[in-house]
Chain A
Amino acid sequence: MNVIIDNFPLYVSGFLQTLRICAFAALGSLVLGTVIAGFRVSPVPPLRWVGTAWVTVFRNCPLTVVLFFCAFGLPEIGVNGAYFWFGVTGLILYTSAFVCEAVRSGINSVPAGQAEAARAVGLTFSQSLTSVVLPQALRTVVPPLGSVIIAMIKNSAIVGAFGVGGDLFAVGDTLTSSRGEAVLPVLIGVVLGYLVITIPGGLLLGLLERKVAIAR
C-alpha cells in the first residue's frame, strides 16, 4: 500500500485530470445531445435525418474508433489543437448520441395531451418544445442521463489510454510500466480513484431521482 501513499500527489493530479476531462465532456455532450434530440423530433426532415444518422453512427462505433477519427480527421479539415481537446471532442461526440437517446425517450414519455394543450393555446413548435415538453421531459430524463454520465466518466479512462495522458489510467500505466511498482496496490489506488467518483455519483443520482420523480 506504500505505493499509494508515496505517490499520492501523482494520484491526485491523475484524479484531477480525469475530473477535467469529464467536466468538459459532460458539459459538451449534454448540450450537443439535447440539440441532436431536438433535431430528431423536429418537423424538418433533413434535420431528422442528421439526428438519426448521428445517433446510429456514434452509438454503434466503439469510442476508440471515434477517438482515432478525431485525432486523424480533425487536423485534415483544418481543426488543430492540443491532443487533450481531440480526446475530449471524441468523448463528447460519442456520449452525445446516448444523451440524445435519453432525452428523446424523455420527450416520448410526456403525454400527448401536454403537447396538444400547448398547441391549442397557440404555441409554436419551438415554444411548445422549450416551455412545455422539455421541462417535463428533462425530469423523467434525469435517471437515464445520470447513468449516461457515469458511463462517460468510466469511458474517460479510454481517452486516457488513448494517449491524452495525465489521468488516472495514465498514472496506473506510468507506475506499473516505467517505475515497475507492484501492480496490485497501484491498481487498487486507480480503482479507488474511479469509485470515489462513480459510487457517490450513483448515490446522488438515486437521491435526485426520488426528488425530481413525478407521479404519472
Chain B
Amino acid sequence: MSTTSVLFDAPGPRSKRRVLIGSVIAGLLLLGVLVLVGLRLDAQHQFDVEKWAPLFDPSDEQFPLVWQRIGEALGNTLVAAALAMVFSLVIGTLLAVTRVTAARWYRWAVVGLVELLRGVPVVIAIFFASRVLPQFGLDLEPLWFLVIGLTAYNSVIIAEIVRAGIDSLPKGQREAAESLGLRRGQVLSLVLLPQAFRVMLPAVISQLVVVLKDTSLGFVISYEELVRVAGQIVQVLSNPIQVYLLIAVIFTLINYTLSRFAIWVERRLSQGKKSATATLSATDPAGAGTGGG
C-alpha cells in the first residue's frame, strides 16, 4: 500500500507492539458495537427465521416469487441504466464536439446548457420529465421519463469527459491532422475522437456506476426498479431491514465490480503508453463519480 509507506516506516519492535495493542482495542470496540447492535436487533426479533427465509431459503414457499420479482426489477434497473448511458454517450459526444468546433455564440449556448443541467438535481430532472413532457403530448412509459431525466444530467457529464479527453491529447495530433489537409470534422472523427474515447474509457465506466445508482430515483415516478420493488416486497413480508440489506448487497456487488473494472482498464491503458489518464482518473472521487444518488 502506497499510503503506508508515506505515513509510516516499517514498524520496529516497539511500534509493532503498539499497533498490536491498538488492533486489539479497536477490534474489541468494533466487536462491542456489532454485539450491541446485534442484541438490539435480536430484541426486536430481527433475526427470526420468518424474516429471512423468504429471501434466503429456497424451500420457503415465497422464495421463488420474491426472487422472480427481484430478477425482473434488476432487469429493469439494468435496462434503464444501459439506455441512459447509450443516449448520454451519443448526446454528450455531440455536445462536446459542437463545443470544440462550432461558432462562438453557439459555443456559449452549449456552455450555458451544460452549466444549467449540471446544477439541476437528477431527481428533479426525472420528476419533472414525467410531469412536463405529457403536457406536450409525450405520454410515455415511466422507463422513458427515467431515461430522459438521467440522460439530461449524464450527457452533460459525458460531454465534459469527452472534452477533457480531447484536451488531454498531445497538440501534435491535431496539428498533424490539420497539416494533412483534413477538414475540422475529419480531424475530430478520424484522429481526435478515437483516441479521446480510449483515454475516456475508465471515466465512462465510473460514470456508469453513478447512472446505475441513479436509476433507483425511478421510485419518484413509480418505475419498477430494484428499490421500488423492494418497497413492494417489504409491504407484503414486512421485513424492511432484511430486504434492503439484500438490495444494498446487490448494488454494492455490481458497482464494486464495475469500479474495479474501471481501474483495471485504466491500468491497462496506461501500460506501455504514457497516456493522459491522470486527468481523467477513474478513481478520482472528485470527478464525475459524485454526481448522483
Contacts and interface: CB of A to CB of B under 8 A. Distances in A.
A64 B216 contact: yes
Interface in A56-96: 56-57, 59-66, 68-69, 72-73, 76-78, 94
Given A43-B11, A65-B251, A144-B285, 16 more contacts: A43-B19, A44-B19, A65-B227, A68-B227, A69-B241, A77-B37, A77-B41, A105-B285, A107-B7, A110-B6, A115-B6, A133-B6, A145-B286, A148-B285, A148-B286, A155-B121
A3 interface: no
Interface in A159-180: 161, 169, 172-173, 176
8 contacts: A50-B30, A62-B213, A64-B217, A68-B227, A110-B6, A158-B217, A184-B135, A191-B120
Contacts, number: 196
A65 B254 CA distance: 15
Interface residues of B, number: 68
Interface of B: 2-9, 11, 15, 19, 22-23, 26-27, 30, 37, 40-41, 44, 46, 115-116, 118-124, 127-128, 131-132, 135, 209, 213-217, 219-220, 227, 230-231, 240-241, 244-245, 247-248, 251-252, 254-256, 259, 283-287, 289-293
A65 B248 contact: yes
Nearest to A193: B124
Contacts of B286: 102, 105, 143-145, 147-148
A64 B219 contact: yes
A60 B209 contact: yes
B252 A57 contact: yes
Nearest to A169: B124
A31 interface: no
A154 B8 contact: no
Interface in A103-120: 104-105, 107-108, 110, 112, 115, 119
Provide the main secondary structure of the chain B interface. Answer: helix
A68 B241 CA distance: 9
Contact of B293 (A133, A155, A195, A199): A155
Interface string A171-209: 011001000000110010011001100110010000000
Provide the main secondary structure of the chain A interface. Answer: helix
A8 interface: no
Contacts of B217: 62, 64, 158, 161
A129 B3 CA distance: 12
Interface of A: 40-41, 43-47, 50, 56-57, 59-66, 68-69, 72-73, 76-78, 94, 98, 101-102, 104-105, 107-108, 110, 112, 115, 119, 125, 128-129, 133, 143-145, 147-148, 151, 154-158, 161, 169, 172-173, 176, 183-184, 187, 190-191, 194-195, 198-199, 202
B37 to A, nearest CB: 5
A67 to B, nearest CB: 9
A60 B251 contact: yes
A147 B122 CA distance: 15
A164 to B, nearest CB: 13
